[in-house]
Amino acid sequence: MPQHRIENVSSGFWLFIESRGYRVLQYCVLAAGLVAMSAATVPDVRPELRAWLTVGLWCCLGFFTFELAVRVWTRSVSERGPRYLLAAAGAIDAMAVLPIPIALLVGVPAETAWLLASLWLLKLTTSVPGLALLGRVISLESRSLASVFAIFLIVLLLAAVALYVLERAAQPEQFGSLPLSLWWSVTTLTTTGYGDAVPESFLGRVIAGMVMICGLGVFGLLTGILATGFAAEHRRRDFIRTWDLVTRVPFFRDLYPAAIVELTRMLRRLDVAERTVVVRRGRPGDCMYFIASGEVEVKLEPRPVRLGPGSFFGEMALLERGPRTATVVTTAPTTLLILDVSDFHAFTALHPDLAQTVETEAKRRASDSKRKVSKEQ
């Protein structure tokens, strides 16, 4: 087979394996595999069903092996092969496939070996976008998190020692050693409260109450740090993506760089599927839309109008402060940039040029629409 044909086949496989449809299939296989693995551990499953579950598990394993093989092959054709298995995504794909056969060969009982199928879930880490973000948040906020963790440890240990001293005589089963007391301490400080170990002395209960309140405090700090960090990182990442889209809209090209930055901060990105109603006629209008990619259809009388990337719609409702004058439906997967009414007025107050362009375009459309109607008649 000549080289270029191999490359064509390879890139075909590549496109297939990176498509949205394949991802949905992968999620289904993953869910089915994990359900089968869980069901296989139930003791009173009938033998026939158990056999079918094993078949299903082997099929899932085959699917992931095929996926790994395609990925390794397509990468090696495009000369990025050797690096793939060393990268995080490759390692996770390999960890999904290899451990189970190895465990079976080594002689681990089948029912224990199949528990390694839980590693399949790690595949989520490569497809869920927010996880890399979370890693960055944790590395940036590591100092604050370390100090909260230190407080957690100090309260944990001091409470455990106090309860060990107070309760060891009365409840040797629950508080008879420091590790047992630490177990009580961690269930209480996280406000989990199993209730398997409960202090009975008066002082022990007073300390337990204080530990619970400390738990609320530690929790509050942790929540605050993670939430603040996550929000900030998310904002940063969104800015970069929106910036990329803004530069593709010809409409914004004549703006000063400072105005573009300001506008990028105001716009929100929205990914819309095919055949979705974006704007419904008669509803109050609180934002206008710019099309970054994709296409929409404006349901105008007498015939609908199609708008492509770089166009905008929904501006009439903002200019005249009335309800939406037409329904707008996407005809392809579309990425929209949303400008809220508050930001629209704030922005056009400072940059009257944009307001003028929008108004000119709106007038042109209105007259255009009238002309079309008269032509039809």
Residues 219-258 that bind its own copies (CB under 8 A): 219-228, 230-231, 234, 236-237, 239-240, 243-244, 247, 256-258
Q: In angstroms, rounded to a whole number, what is the distance separating the alpha carbons of residues 164 and 184?
A: 10
The correct pick among 124, 170, 203, 273 for binding its own copies (CB under 8 A) is 124
The correct pick among 70, 98, 165, 305 for binding its own copies (CB under 8 A) is 165
Position 158 contacts its own copies (CB under 8 A): yes
The correct pick among 51, 55, 110, 261 for binding its own copies (CB under 8 A) is 261
The count of other CB atoms within 10 Å of the CB of residue 221 is 16
Considering beta carbons, is residue 161 or 300 the nearer one to its own copies?
A: 161
Positions in 314-373 near its own copies (CB under 8 A): 321, 340-342, 345-346, 348-350
Positions in 190-209 near its own copies (CB under 8 A): 190-196, 198, 202, 205, 208-209
Per CB under 8 A, the segment of 40-48, 92-100, 294-302, 359-367 that binds its own copies is: 40-48
* Residue 291 structure tokens: 């099309």
> CA end-to-end span of the chain, whole Å?
62
DSSP 8-state assignment for residue 43: T
Shortest distance in whole angstroms from residue 368 CB to its own copies: 27
The correct pick among 253, 265, 306, 363 for binding its own copies (CB under 8 A) is 265
The count of other CB atoms within 10 Å of the CB of residue 44 is 4
Q: In angstroms, rounded to a whole number, what is the distance separating the alpha carbons of residues 28 and 105?
A: 28
Helix (H) or strand (E) holding 271: strand 268-272
Shortest distance in whole angstroms from residue 158 CB to its own copies: 6
Shortest distance in whole angstroms from residue 304 CB to its own copies: 20
Site size with its own copies, rule: CB under 8 A: 103
Position 54 contacts its own copies (CB under 8 A): no
> Which amino acid is it at 351?
H
How many degrees, rounded to 5, is the angle at CA 256 between CA 255 and CA 259? 85
Nearest to 343 by CA among 270, 280, 271, 289: 289
Contact 172, 189 (CB under 8 A): no
Positions in 286-305 near its own copies (CB under 8 A): 286
Helix (H) or strand (E) holding 7: helix 3-17
Position 177 contacts its own copies (CB under 8 A): yes
